[in-house]
Amino acid sequence: MSEIIRSNTQLPAERRPFILRTQDNLKLIGEVARPIGEVPGQSQGAILCLHPLPTAGGMMDSHIFKKAANRLPALVGISVVRFNTRGTTSDAGTSEGNFENGVGERFDVEAALNYCFDELKLTNLWVVGWSFGTDLALQHAKDPRHKGLILLSPPLRTSTPEHLQWWNSDPRPVMALVPEFDEFLPPTQAREKFSVMPNMEIIAVDGAKHLWIGEPSVYRALSEIVARVAPGKLPLPTEY
């Protein structure tokens, strides 16, 4: 008998903690959740999660990313890689270093991408940033091996027009999910700010807020991620 997927549902996956070593010699903690039985180098697809602002409570367990790790490996065969940037704490522990407002975090993003490709041998990897994580993605996720950027609630807090224009010279897709009621950058302002990226896709999500609270908002966010990474797996199941 099937059961409805709820906020705290955790489906089977191969879950493994890991430690990243950055170029400036910090140890960062993380976890990968992979489909059971997945063969290295033959993944359906994968996402690297860049979490919200740690000084406002953001971490690898921020709920959209925790729910992605709890659901997507089993439901659609997508691997989910999460980690705490420097100085960030979650239930798994605290990464070394101190918060550097997106500057030193460049080394964190680069280390995570290298780990995804060199150690985990992931294929069809997309970078998913949420809030603060979208600025990290836009500024530092330039590794040519990933497939593109998926941005949730981008505030453009530290990203400049020059950062955005870099992506105009890159053929990979950049998509932003912008909540209707985002208190930092709602859809109208987002379209204006991102106008320097004419090929970017901006999707306004009716009724949603910056933190994507509530199962309908979670389902929409995860569905849009799956639509880019593994579109043949839609619609996302609501039962298991």
* Alpha carbon distance 235, 58 (integer Å): 29
pLDDT of 77 reads: 97
Write the pLDDT tens digit of every residue in 164-210: 999 999 999 999 999 999 999 999 999 999 999 999 999 999 999 99
pLDDT in tens, 9-60: 999 999 999 999 999 999 999 999 999 998 877 778 999 999 999 999 999 9
As a whole number, mean pLDDT of residues 99-104 equals 98
Q: Are 167 and 144 in contact (CB under 8 A)?
A: no
C-alpha closest to that of 48 among 23, 61, 70, 65:
65
Pairing mode of beta strands 45-50, 14-21: unpaired
Domains (ranges, CATH) in the chain? 14-230 (3.40.50.1820)
Structural tokens at position 234? 């839609």
Asked whether the CA dihedral 152, 153, 159, 160 is positive or negative, the reply is positive
How many helices and strands in the chain, by DSSP H and E?
Answer: 6, 10
Assessment of whether the complete model's pTM goes beyond 0.85 = yes
Q: Return mean pLDDT, the chain.
A: 97
Only one residue has tokens 């807020």, namely 209
pLDDT of the residue at 1: 65
pLDDT tens-digit map of 56-91: 999 999 999 999 999 999 999 999 999 999 999 999
Supply the pLDDT for residue 12.
97
The SS3 call for residue 32 is strand
> Which residue, 209, 240, 218, is CA-closest to 65?
218
**β-strands 27-34, 14-21 pairing:** antiparallel
Tokens of residue 37, six digits: 């039985």
